[in-house]
Amino acid sequence: MKTNTTGYRGYRFPREIISHGVWLYYRFSLSLRDVEELLAKRGITVTYETIRQWCRKFGPEYARKLKRRQGRLGDVWHLDEVFVKIAGERHYLWRAVDQDGDVIDIPVQRYRNARAAKRFFRKLPKGQGSKPWQLVTDKLKSYSAAHRSIMPSVDHNTERYANNRAEVSHQPTRQRERQMQGFKSAGQAQRFLSVHGVIQNLFNLGRHHLRSETYRLLRERSFKAWSAATAA
């Protein structure tokens, strides 16, 4: 094992193992116990609770570094919302993806009204540094109200089927929600999704559109970006 670097000081395992455990959990639809077993197969004895602590501490840190590296995303933003039950109460995941399917943001909010939509619209440009060329949404009136108030100069497309990209982008979240047997709190859902979205972007390579040589090259580039983000 390599010696721990500064950011991992005080941890029994080196960064290579910690970052690999975090990567497995966020990259694939695995439970914490699944990750524990995969590491055990490699001779690494660690409990799922320890892996949970790794993910909670290092996941957001990795995501922040990756987000800085990814820079500004596309200029066509597809917006949609989907409800989730959290501790028996209905919440909404407001999701924004660009024309390539990369996740821009996924805030968790209690409501689906105009006030929640306006909060969503105000937050998005802050993370991207500019407004989009076009917004694509369904015909929910909350979007129209937020558009008129926050981004009136941006083209707003509400045509039928135009927003299929955003609707399809909910699938990975639904899959993880089932794997986790539901989110335990709004805070836990927000922490998980904020990290999951960024890591999903890094490895979202559109394999079916690429030649195998190109795919392997891009995958290697993603691994290098991950290694740089997980270095102390």
What secondary structure does DSSP assign to 74-111, as a single string? -SEEEEEEEEEEETTEEEEEEEEE-TT--EEE--EES-
Q: CA 28, 128, 57 angle in degrees (round to 5)? A: 45
Does residue 194 sit within a domain? Answer: no
Does residue 197 sit within a domain? Answer: no
**What one-letter code names the amino acid at 127?**
G
pLDDT value of residue 1? 47
Close Cβ partners of 122 (under 8 Å, ≥ 6 residues apart): 150
Q: CA 65, 83, 174 angle in degrees (round to 5)? A: 60
Within this chain, do residues 64 and 149 fall inside the same structural domain, yes or no?
A: no
Q: Tell me, what DSSP letter sits at residue 137?
A: -
Does residue 151 sit within a domain? Answer: yes
Within this chain, do residues 163 and 103 fall inside the same structural domain, yes or no?
A: yes
Domain containing 127: what range? 76-184
Does residue 57 sit within a domain? Answer: yes
Within this chain, do residues 132 and 213 fall inside the same structural domain, yes or no?
A: no
Does residue 179 sit within a domain? Answer: yes
Within this chain, do residues 102 and 81 fall inside the same structural domain, yes or no?
A: yes
Please count the structural domains in the chain.
Answer: 2
Within this chain, do residues 92 and 171 fall inside the same structural domain, yes or no?
A: yes
Q: What are 30-57's pLDDT values in tens digits?
A: 999 999 999 999 999 999 999 999 999 9
Tell me the angle at which helices 212-230 and 48-70 cross, rounded to the nearest 10 degrees.
110
Q: Where are the alpha helices (DSSP H) in the chain?
A: 15-27, 32-41, 48-70, 114-128, 141-150, 164-168, 171-179, 186-202, 212-230
Contact criterion met (CB below 8 Å) for 98 and 77? yes
pLDDT in tens, the chain (232 residues): 454 566 788 899 999 999 999 999 999 999 999 999 999 999 999 999 999 999 999 999 999 999 988 878 899 999 999 999 998 899 999 999 999 889 999 999 999 999 999 999 999 998 888 899 999 999 999 999 999 999 999 999 999 889 898 888 888 888 898 888 889 999 999 999 999 999 999 998 876 677 889 989 999 999 999 999 999 6
pLDDT value of residue 7? 79
Within this chain, do residues 104 and 179 fall inside the same structural domain, yes or no?
A: yes
Does residue 1 sit within a domain? Answer: no
Within this chain, do residues 45 and 104 fall inside the same structural domain, yes or no?
A: no
Does residue 98 sit within a domain? Answer: yes
- Characterize 108-143 residue by residue with b for buried, 16 or more Cβ atoms within 10 angstroms of its Cβ, and e for exposed: bbeebebebbbebbeebeeebeeebeebbbeebebb
Within this chain, do residues 21 and 51 fall inside the same structural domain, yes or no?
A: yes
Q: Tell me, what DSSP letter sits at residue 4?
A: P
Within this chain, do residues 118 and 169 fall inside the same structural domain, yes or no?
A: yes
Within this chain, do residues 56 and 90 fall inside the same structural domain, yes or no?
A: no
Distance CA 11, CA 115 (A): 43
Within this chain, do residues 66 and 104 fall inside the same structural domain, yes or no?
A: no
pLDDT value of residue 72? 80
Residue 85, beta-bridge partner list = 90
Does residue 24 sit within a domain? Answer: yes
CATH number for the domain spanning 106: value is 3.30.420.10
Model pTM above 0.85: yes
